[in-house]
Structure 1
Amino acid sequence: MNRTRVSPVREQSTDAKPPDEPPDEPPDEPGGAVAGSRLARRRRWTVVAACSAAVLSAGGVYAAQWVQSPAEAAARTRAPKPSVITAPVVRQVMRNTIVFRGSFSDGRTVSAAPTSVAVTQPAAQQPHALLITGVFARAGQRVGAAKPLVEYDARPVFALPGTLPMYRDLTMGEEGKDVAQLQKALHSLGWVTGSDPSGRFGVGTAAAVKRLYAAMGYAAPVTTSADTTSATEQSGSATQGTESAASRRSEPKATTMLPASEVVFVPSLPARVVSVPVHMGDAVKGPVVTLARGDMTLTGFLDPSERGLISTGMKADIFSEATGAHTGGTVASVGALVTPGSGLVTPGSGKDEPDDSPAGPQTDSAYVPVRIEGSGNWDKRFADQDVRVTITAAATSRAVTAVPEAAVAAGADARTTVTVVTASGAQRVVPVTTGVSADGLVQVTAARGHTLRAGDRVVVGR
């Protein structure tokens, strides 16, 4: 009996997922992983291939720029077409510009170096040490008369107008030119000296000195002296017969005086302070203040070959490269030739005065000193500066036709010519005669039958 095997039929699930639900995750099977790996590799190779193609394309474009044909190479190395360099013809006054170095100096100076301290009360004891107790001035400052500059041991050092140096203390009864200078200085400040005759330090002069110190805020210095008078002046006519020849000494008394350690005379005020080499508390061992006896002086050092181009009255331009200061001046004098080893000559004087002149240039070459004055007091920024001096001098009295020196050519026949380039580019040769030259230009006059006008272009190089 035949038996038929019936295979079991699997029942299909009727639980279908709704269409809006996401599909199930792919099964984690080996076959799916292999397929994803192959797809990623293909993508990577595609990107690499594309990048390589881009690089090769860019390299080809760059390399193509360096590839040239033989014709192109020859064209690039061929010499350029010849051309000319031109400059305009001008019509102007010919001027020479002379540039040389100059140096500012203080000229003569005067210093105050106290050696003693004046007292303000009779029989007062003088201090043993001299110490700086005040500094009121600074280098470069301009100071007037009767103004304390430095103070030592509470005593002032000040300036008064005058040319004679203060070489002694001035006390009651002193006579001389220095007393007359003091009286003149006191009068200029408004303090009269009473009935004292000129050149004699009397009661009126002493009173004026006392007022001078009071105006500065200090007590006037005094000195103690014994006054000797005749008996006739003291006893009267009653004792004239018996004491006519006798004298007696009165009690010592204090009188106002002017100490040499406290005042310095300067020819003109205000004066410029050259240096104040002390500070508060320093011991006095030398000059405490130095003043210029006049304003700064400027001396230029001119090349002897240019001596004929400079004359008095010419305007000068002065410039300090170090400070940037700039000003004008006027040539005051042109001195004699100075040669190495001969010493310095004061401009315009012909005499050697090394103490009153600035040091010459640091060179072994000869020079001509040129003294230059300013319109007023020099700017203090020029003090002790080495400067550039520029002077422009006219070489012709009127406007002339001129061309650059490089435009003039000399032929084998000794003729001088210039070559004019026309607007169309054509060139024509113009014979000329030359005149004065200045600042790279030369005066020219066209030969008869030829023209040369301002604005024409002439050849100066090829």
Structure 2
Amino acid sequence: MKRSEEHTRGTADGPDDVITGSRLDRRRRSTVVAACCAAVLSASGMFAAQWVQSPAEAAARTRAPSPSVITAPVVRQVLRNTLVFRGTFSDGRTISVTPTSVATSLRGSQPAVLLVTGVFAQAGRRVEAARPLVEYDERPVFALPGTLPMYRDLTVGDQGKDVAQLQKALRSLGRATGGDPSGTFGSGTAAAVRRMYAAMGYAAPVADTATGKEQPGTTAQDGSSAVHRSTGSQPAVVLPFSEAVFVPSLPARVVSVPVHVGDTVKGPVITLARGEMTLTGFLDPSERRLVGAGMKADILSEATGARAMGTVDSVGAVVTPGSGDDRPASDGDADTAAGGSAYVPVRIKSSGRWDEKLAGQDVRITITAAATSGPVTAVPEAAVSAGADARTTVTVVTAAGARRVVAVTTGVSADGMVQVTPAHGHALQAGDRVVVGK
């Protein structure tokens, strides 16, 4: 029996060892899993703690930061007023040419209708003397230098200031008028007119002598009718009222050419400026005392981007639209340009010649005017405070961050700056920093 029991126990040693090892492994795995779960829970708690806060913490996080101040330096400078207002370029006085008849030439019969046969000029361009600008019925319209308007046809035998002006214009073109006295249209002047027309590529107009009668000319501005005369068998040369236009200065600027080839002549075929462009600004009456002759002006056309510099030529009296105030005719629609409000006309002149791109433009005029005779102590307007005691002060912030209140007296203000003078016993100098906001 004993041997049998031992044999049985000995046989059971293998399974016991297996059972014991299996239980140990399970315990170890359970421990590892529990540790991992604890680690995960701990990490999750730490992560969640970052998003969970107490009411006190929330209040602390959302509390406004401590207030700080904005400062600006005290400066020493000349205060200047920058004035910006509108202005309009106009053509000044202009002269238009409206042909009313065709002068007789030796090339053929008279046309039945006035028809535009050529256009050689463009608006905004400058034209020289004795150059065809527009052509109607193959006759040229051209400009000559002179201040007296063309008011009649000129031909041999005519006398007057207009003849003297023609002779001067011919000589400026290098066309000698021979021995003709000044103011008398003689053979020398006639020869010079022929040469001028030949240089333009046209035959000179002449009086019609085929019938032995005087040939009616064009209708003058005063309604009178000029006549062409002939000398002997040679037709008299004529300078027609409808072809020549006198302009004070050349080259002249073309204001408009309202016709095209093929159009019937029913009105002006070309308009020229009798002088340079003029610029008139419309200044607010409250700023009149700030602008004077000689001040520099910056001009800008926002439409074209063109810029120019000018000088104030004159400052006029206040104009109230609709009140019957007189103003120069060249102002044109000044009431409209000024917005229907009272304004002071300011004439701006150019040191040279205005850019042609500015013709007819509404522009912005900027004038910088000195408001003080010399450098003054100044601070931004926002730095000045007025207390209940009527004292005016500024607050200075020192390098260490301390603040001190300085009583001041204010003076001239311009462009956001104001002149300040510290009261007796107070110090304020350029470089100090003053509070302008928080």
TM-score normalized by the length of structure 2: 0.81
Q: Render the CA deviation track for 1:436-460: whole Å, top value 9, x for unaligned.
A: 1111111112223322121211011
- Paired residue for 1:369? 345
CA displacement at 1:81 relative to structure 2? 1.7
- Paired residue for 2:97? 112
Q: Would the aligned equivalents of 2:104 and 2:208 in 1 still touch at CA under 8 Å? A: no
- Paired residue for 1:278? 259
- Paired residue for 2:169? 185
Q: Does 1:207 align with 2:188?
A: no
CA displacement at 1:272 relative to structure 2? 0.7
1:141 to 89, 103, 125: 125
Tell me: CA distance 1:67–1:116, structure 2 relative to 1, closer, same or farther (3 Å). Answer: farther
Q: Does 1:91 align with 2:111?
A: no
Q: Would the aligned equivalents of 1:404 and 1:441 in 2 still touch at CA under 8 Å? A: yes
1:431 to 402, 407, 411: 407
1:71 to 56, 80, 93: 56
- Paired residue for 1:353? 328
Alignment of 1:447-462 (within 5 A): 447-462=423-438
Tell me: CA distance 1:78–1:163, structure 2 relative to 1, closer, same or farther (3 Å). Answer: same
CA displacement at 1:353 relative to structure 2? 3.2
Alignment of 1:35-74 (within 5 A): 68-74=53-59
Q: What value does the CA root-mean-square deviation take over the aligned residues?
A: 2.4
Counterpart code for 1:357: D
SS at match of 2:154: coil
CA distance in 2, matches of 1:387, 1:61: 69
CA displacement at 1:70 relative to structure 2? 2.2
Tell me: CA distance 1:344–1:68, structure 2 relative to 1, closer, same or farther (3 Å). Answer: farther
Q: Would the aligned equivalents of 1:150 and 1:289 in 2 still touch at CA under 8 Å? A: yes
Q: Does 1:102 align with 2:87?
A: yes
Counterpart code for 1:223: A
CA distance in 2, matches of 1:414, 1:282: 77
- Paired residue for 2:18? none
Counterpart code for 1:150: V
1:293 to 266, 274, 281: 274
Tell me: CA distance 1:342–1:107, structure 2 relative to 1, closer, same or farther (3 Å). Answer: farther
2:152 to 152, 168, 171: 168
SS at match of 2:333: coil
TM-score normalized by the length of structure 1: 0.77
Q: Render the CA deviation track for 1:11-52: whole Å, top value 9, x for unaligned.
A: xxxxxxxxxxxxxxxxxxxxxxxxxxxxxxxxxxxxxxxxxx
CA distance in 2, matches of 1:401, 1:257: 75
Runs of 5+ consecutive residues of structure 2 not aligned to the other structure: 1-44, 215-229
Tell me: CA distance 1:71–1:278, structure 2 relative to 1, closer, same or farther (3 Å). Answer: same
Q: Does 1:405 align with 2:386?
A: no
- Paired residue for 1:334? 315
CA distance in 1, matches of 2:360, 2:81: 28
CA distance in 2, matches of 1:190, 1:65: 100
CA distance in 2, matches of 1:139, 1:395: 43
Counterpart code for 1:363: G
CA displacement at 1:297 relative to structure 2? 0.5
CA distance in 1, matches of 2:418, 2:62: 39
Q: Render the CA deviation track for 1:211-234: whole Å, top value 9, x for unaligned.
A: 111111211111135599xxxxxx
Tell me: CA distance 1:210–1:251, structure 2 relative to 1, closer, same or farther (3 Å). Answer: closer
Count of aligned positions: 376
Counterpart code for 2:106: Q
